Amino acid sequence: MDSLFDTIEVNKYEPLPVRMRPTSLDHFFGQEKAVGKGTFLRAMVEQNTIPSMLFYGPCGTGKTTLAGIIAKISHSHFVNLNATNAGINELRKIIEEARKRIRSLQQRTILFLDEIHRFNKSQQDVLLPCVEDGTIILIGATTENPFFEVNRPLLSRLRLITLELLTPKAIAQILHRALTDTEVGIGERHLHVEDNLLEEIGIFVNGDGRMALNILEQASAMVPEGGTITLEVLEKVVGRRVYSYDKKGDNHYDTISAFIKSMRGSDVQATLHYLARMIEAGEDPNFIARRIVICSAEDVGLADPQALVIANAAAQAAHLVGFPEARIILSEAAVYVALAPKSNSAYMGIDAAIADVRHKECGQVPDHLKDSHYSGAIKLGHGQTYKYAHSYPNAYVKQQYLPDPLVKAKYYEGHRRGREESLLDDWERRIGLKK
């Protein structure tokens, strides 16, 4: 299919996302790291030196649109294919037509191949020679890690460009342009929307600019010319409550605080409620995951050391998959932490030890514990009387470990809950406090 940018006349009956498709890099909001002023890609486009590339990023980040913009600016012939339904014969036909176009019209061909990771090795190999000799400029697009899904020989010939999920601020910019553009947008209706509400739409759609524009178009149809699109109008459009909060405001911190305290207090129902609030408000899943990890160590601690393992695994998994699936992972970890027995003994212990280090004269490391693995250590008396624990029954022998000024210090106060109880029992038996 040829470029979507070839049509000059605006069809007012087209959906707003189609009409608002950017035709210049200045309107390609939210991808400043990839195409902003001073970037590699921007410089190549401005110099009309277009390399073959691979766009890598989530759905809805504008991969197809960016390829079309590049083709338009460079006056290249644009061919748009999807790897799911394109065969080798079609590829060879496009390549041959590209050769003819170079010879007869002195015009380059940009082949945009969406979901390139779905091409098998033989299909990708067909592209190698024509990419290498410049017959076509290939712009591949994928949502999958290219280092796993694209053939190394082909990948080595492509410049990797990473596109990021659109932020609420970028979504707000897109919506503001649609509201003010009188040619292809809805600017002639002179509608009013508060800036913070535009960002709330961005939070709600989770980076999907197309969905945001569809919501705006539907909301605009519900208010008269010169009217105001309110939160109530938006909620009628989406069919549900739009829950959000200012991430710098009290509601944000209150919700986080309630979430942490609910896990600490072992109230699993409240834990899920506040987790749902944060998810619906568009909270960063990495931020939520970090709170769960901290709580697993601070509040569960030695009562169930497995909680930290689960929380850390959840943090990694949530970062990998993102929303919406990350909600399941975060829920599993939060519920586990809420249900687990609680002990803050390790947390209180390290803080007590740090307080001594900061505020007391702690003295020197005892001579028998000092490093003795160097010449001259024996003359200094280092390590001479050290007793190797494994040489004694139960791998325990009584000797002084703390410095002289702190020899009677006690930092760890164990709690007989969960796994920590069995750890304490075993420890007491080893040191002779319990038979």
User: pLDDT value at position 211?
Assistant: 84
pLDDT value, residue 246: 54
| Amino acid occupying residue 28 | F
Q: How confident is the model at residue 117 (pLDDT cuts 50, 70, 90)?
A: confident
Handedness of CA 221, 245, 317, 304 (dihedral sign): negative
The residue type found at 117 is: H
Assess whether pLDDT exceeds 80 at residue 1: no
How far is CA 17 from each of CA 20, 119, 233, rounded to the nearest angstrom?
A: 5, 29, 20
Whether 330 has a pLDDT exceeding 90, the answer reads yes
- Give the pLDDT band of residue 2 (cuts 50, 70, 90): very low
* Fold of domain 250-339: Zinc Finger, Delta Prime; domain 3 (1.20.272)
Stretch 298-310: mean pLDDT? 94
Q: Within the chain, how many helices (H) and strands (E) appear?
A: 19, 5
Domain 361-430, CATH class in plain words:
mainly alpha
Q: What is the mean pLDDT of the segment spanning 245-269?
A: 81
pLDDT > 90 in the chain, percent: 33
Q: What integer best gives the mean pLDDT of the chain?
A: 86
Question: What pLDDT score does 109 carry?
Answer: 93
CA–CA dist 331, 333 (Å, integer): 5
Where helices occur in 246-298 by DSSP H, the ranges are 250-264, 268-280, 285-295
- Express as a percent the part of the chain with pLDDT over 70: 94
Q: Which of 9-23, 147-161, 212-226 has the highest mean pLDDT?
A: 212-226
Exposed, middle or buried, 332 (CB in 10 Å: 0-12/13-18/19+)?
middle
For residue range 68-86, list pLDDT tens digits in order: 999 999 999 999 988 888 8
Distance CA 435, CA 427 (A): 11
Class for the domain spanning 168-238? mainly alpha
Residue 55 pLDDT grade (very low, low, confident, very high; cuts 50, 70, 90): very high
Comparison of pLDDT for 345 and 119, the residue scoring more: 345
**Residue 234 clears pLDDT 60, i.e. is over it:** yes
Q: Tell me the Cα Rg of the chain.
A: 31
User: pTM to 2 decimals?
Assistant: 0.56
Q: What is the mean pLDDT of residues 173-181?
A: 91
Helix (H, G, I), strand (E, B) or coil at 54: strand
Identify any residues that bridge with 2 across adjacent strands, giving them in sequence order.
79
- The CATH class of 31-162 is alpha beta
The count of other CB atoms within 10 Å of the CB of residue 295 is 27
Report residue 354's pLDDT band, with 50, 70 and 90 as the boundaries: very high
Smallest CA-to-CA distance from 155 within 118, 116, 122 is with: 116
CB hemisphere CA count around 165 (13 angstroms): 14
What is the distance between the alpha carbons of residues 100 and 110, in angstroms, rounded to a whole number? 14
Q: Which amino acid is at 400?
A: Q
Asked whether the beta carbons of 427 and 412 are under 8 A apart, the reply is: no
Q: What is the DSSP letter of 322?
A: -
What does the block give as tokens for 377? 């250590």
Taking the domains of the chain in order of start, what are their residue ranges? 31-162, 168-238, 250-339, 361-430
User: With 80 as the cut, is the pLDDT of residue 59 above it?
Assistant: no
pLDDT of residue 7: 46
CB 68 within 8 A of CB 110: no
pLDDT band at 252 (very low <50, low <70, confident <90, very high): confident
pLDDT(405) > 80: yes
Mean pLDDT computed over 245-270: 81
- The residue with tokens 């549900």 is 240
Intrachain domains 250-339 and 361-430 with the same fold: no
Contact assessment for residue 114 and residue 80, using Cβ atoms and an 8 Å cutoff = yes
Q: Round to whole Å and give the CA distance between 413 and 346.
A: 8
